[in-house]
Amino acid sequence: MLPIFQLMDSYLTKQQDLAATSPMTEERNRMARQLAYTLAAHDMRIRHSCRALREKRDVSGYNALRGGRYFFGLTLQNAEESLKELVLQLLDIIDFLGPGNVYLSIYENGSEDDSKDFLVNMDVLLTLFNVDHTIVTDIEGRPHDVDAVEYLAKKRNRALEPLMDGDNGSFDRVVILDGLLFCSADVLELLHEAKRQGADMACGADFRLQEGENEKSRRLAFGDTKTTIDITGSHFLPFPPNAFSQHEATRDRLKRTLPVQVTCCWSGLVALNPRPLVEDGLTFHHRDNEGEEGACGAGERMLLCQDLYRNGWNRVMLVPAAKAVSSHDHGWKETDKLREYEEMQRVNRGFNPEPVEWAPVSVKFSGEWCFADKGREVF
């Protein structure tokens, strides 16, 4: 049982007398109890592999994270399938970092499943543990006349509103999650490396299972090839899963599960320096480049990378040991096998691997919107 659930049992026991005289408290306790039972009965496969990862990994290096404050921004839509496991891992992260050190902001919209009902109960649970949070559920999905990039940018900005309004204090890191499945140790690893390497932006690595003619021909592939770009300006490749770059130095570090400098990344698991957002006012946005000669369109994630470079925040890296998958049936088992191999390497290497040697990236703007590395357009 997670320590946070032990705390829940203790809290609910103490509230029994109050629940008998206060219908509102009784209802809140019922909702919290319902969510606790739902989580306890949830599929144990991912939970077991995540617990095994924590036991294998030397997490003592993560203890330095406990003195900081962390803002988590999460966007969801039709996420019922992954929400239970996502919440379990988030609770484990909150328990490790300390409930008073975390602000969790969730923006959900347009779901046609039971995501909204689940989040109502989660709101009660977070309140029980004094976790500062904002959960917004919205009925409307994407309007037909709104560009997809503009729509996604607005969603991400809604999740970041409690950070940007300045009413909730300062934070050491901003963690942005896209609702993928991960282990708590993945997020702690990402935060640890971002802090240790002094990164302005650090991303995990997401994986998917590429379908084949039969089960044996299915292959694990790196997912976010569209957004992840190495320091030579080349997009990452889907294969092999532990060396997905054509750049020799980058490929060598990936094979050894070491953080690597990149030009841009995302993978649905991101830790940002908050200063570009809070001090420079950077936000997610879109650009309508239709009819503009020499301009190139890009997604809201790539545009954020571009804005970081424009403002001098150019320490961007990918942390291959921080992994995520879209669902249990789309690569979790295969990713788990890759973890086992990589954790053996980590034991042999020690907890503090070779630091990233930050190289200057020659950024050249082409027109107003695109930039290029060494003369090669990457956006």
Select the more confidently predicted residue: 215 or 115: 115
Mean pLDDT value of segment 98-108: 96
- Read off the tokens for 142: 């994407």
Q: 145-149, 235-239, 283-287: which has the minimum mean pLDDT? A: 145-149
What the block records as the tokens of 38 is: 């739902």
> Does residue 148 sit within a domain?
yes
Instruction: Please determine, for residue 327, whether its predicted confidence score (pLDDT) is greater than 60.
Output: yes
Q: Do 75 and 159 reside in the same domain of the chain?
A: yes
191 in a structural domain = no
In-domain check, residue 370: yes
pLDDT in tens, 217-258: 678 999 999 999 999 888 999 988 778 898 999 999 999 899
154 & 214 share domain: no
179 within a domain of the structure (yes/no): no
Percent of the chain with pLDDT over 70: 79
Q: Residue 123 falls within a domain, yes or no?
A: yes
**Which own/partner contact pairs does 354-358 have at CB distance under 8 Å and 24+ positions apart?**
354/253, 354/258, 355/196, 355/197, 356/197, 356/199, 356/259, 356/260, 356/261, 356/317, 357/261, 358/261, 358/315
Q: How high is the pLDDT of residue 340?
A: 85
Number of domains in the chain: 2
Q: Specify whether the CB–CB gap between 112 and 76 falls below 8 A.
A: no
Residue 340 CB contacts under 8 Å (≥ 6 apart), including other chains: none
Same domain, 239 and 94: no
Whether residues 9 and 155 share a domain: the answer is yes
Is residue 155 domain-shared with residue 219, that is, in the same domain?
Answer: no
Q: Within this chain, do residues 277 and 376 fall inside the same structural domain, yes or no?
A: yes
- The pLDDT of residue 225 is 93
Q: Is 188 a member of any domain?
A: no
Residue range of the domain that includes 331: 198-379
In-domain check, residue 192: no
Same domain, 209 and 319: yes
pLDDT of residue 88: 86
Domain end: 121, 156, 171, which one? 171
State whether 145 and 270 are in the same domain.
no
The answer to whether residues 236 and 343 belong to one domain is yes
Domain presence at residue 62? no
- Residue 370: which pLDDT band, with cuts at 50, 70 and 90? very low
Query: Do 145 and 208 belong to one domain?
Result: no
d(CA 329, CA 45): 11
Instruction: Give just the sign of the alpha carbon dihedral 179, 180, 184, 185.
Output: negative
Residue with tokens 């702690």: 188
- Do 277 and 330 lie in a common domain? yes
Last residue of a domain, one of 136, 171, 206: 171
Regarding whether 125 and 207 lie in a shared domain, the answer is no
Strand partners, 75: 107
